[in-house]
Copies of this chain bind each other. A is one copy, B any other.
Amino acid sequence: MARPRTFDESVVLEAAAAQFRVHGYADTSTEQLCEAADVRRSSLYNAFTSKDELFVRALEHYASTMRALQASILTDASLSGAERLRKLIDAIIDEERVARAEGHAAGCMGVHTLMNPDLRARDERIARILERDLQERLGLLEDTIRAGRMDGSMPDGPAAGEGALLVNTLISGIRVTAQTGVTPEILHRIALDGLRSLLA
């Protein structure tokens, strides 16, 4: 029929997300996006109608990829609840380590976007994506906490729903603190200290 695309859509989305999550929406130019994805501007606009649209798609992609990664850890039946939680923390701190090694900040598209009310207002889908993502991740965490209490790896403590919120809150905080240059080792200890009410 017609000439097919030479670029892979999800590769572009990942490149875009990588930019957005470090620089935020406003501070990422279409120039940067083209460069990062190695795609010409018209191709970008042709495939995704606007910067807004690309952002929404990238956020969606990013959120579901991240969530899938976390889900695979949190539903690993070969591990106890406590082990899954620790492994999740490891994975998140490792992201930071990798970013640092590559010389750029890891950032977090979720935190950036959450902290920006204008952005959420610009497109209702953004608020929806964040809300849904949050609920799903909280659900996974809640299940993990319940599982940990069943398998005896985690003590009784805060209600599971609240525990899930704590884990999520601590993760956001870790992402912020990571920007200040604290080493992964220390981040790790802080995280475990913060989870004391769930783990020890």
Which residues of chain A have a CB within 8 Å of any CB of chain B? 22-24, 26-27, 104-105, 107-108, 111-112, 114-119, 130-131, 134, 157-158, 162-163, 165-166, 168-174, 176-177, 179-180, 182, 186, 189-190, 193-194, 196-198, 200
Instruction: List 27 A-B pairs, Cβ < 8 Å.
Output: A22-B117, A23-B116, A23-B117, A27-B118, A107-B115, A107-B117, A111-B115, A114-B179, A114-B180, A115-B176, A115-B179, A158-B189, A158-B190, A158-B193, A165-B182, A169-B170, A169-B173, A169-B174, A169-B177, A170-B194, A172-B173, A172-B176, A173-B173, A193-B197, A194-B194, A196-B196, A196-B197
Residues B162 and A189 in contact, CB atoms below 8 Å apart: yes
**Bound-complex Cα distance A122 to B54 (A):** 26
Number of copies of this kind of chain in the complex: 2
Query: Closest residue of chain B to A111, judged by CB?
Result: B176
Closest chain B residue, CB of each to CB of A159: B189
Asked, given contacts A22-B117, A26-B27, whether A194 binds B177 with beta carbons under 8 Å apart, the answer is no
Q: How many Å lie between the Cα of A41 and that of B58 in the bound state?
A: 37
Interface contact A169-B194, CB-CB below 8 Å:
yes
Report yes or no: A116 in contact with B173, Cβ–Cβ below 8 A.
Answer: no
Contacting pair B176 A114 (CB below 8 A)? yes
* Interface pair A24/B194, CB less than 8 Å apart: no
Contacts A107-B115, A196-B196 known; A165 to B179 CB distance under 8 Å? no
A157-B193, A171-B173 given; 7 more Cβ-contact pairs under 8 Å: A22-B117, A24-B26, A166-B194, A169-B170, A169-B176, A173-B173, A176-B176
Whether the Cβ atoms of A168 and B177 lie closer than 8 Å is yes
